[in-house]
Amino acid sequence: MNYRVFRMKLKPGCMVEYKKRHDVIWTELEDQFRALGINKYIIFLDEDTDTLFAYQEMGSMKTILPQNMGLMQKWWDYMADLMEVHPNNRPITMPLKEMYCMNCNF
């Protein structure tokens, strides 16, 4: 099993709206994640700092094909008003280094 862990940053005061949008995340976006090999995707929030911590679990990460980027770009555009983003609205992410894992037999 492969996994990826990273952090992102919400703009102040955007927690409620961020949660609301993810509560009704687009089905076609989740379908795209599955097609790309992502089996689990969890996002945690540190409310004191508005920092998001994301965990993605995948059997094998497939290459993101150009035709898949249109839907992802639409999601990034939709979420850009809530998060720190690059000029193309892709969220700014920082990979996190694993320091400990109990019972990890990957």
Give the residues across from 8 on adjacent strands. Answer: 52
Q: Note the pLDDT tens digit of each residue in 17-67.
A: 999 999 999 999 999 988 888 889 999 999 999 999 999 998 866 655 555
Give the number of other CB atoms < 10 A from CB of residue 8: 20
Distance CA 92, CA 103 (A): 31
Domains of the chain: 2-95 (3.30.70.100)
- Cα-trace Rg, the chain: 14
pLDDT tens per residue across span 60-99: 666 555 556 789 999 999 999 999 999 999 999 999 998 8
Q: Which amino acids are annotated catalytic? A: 22
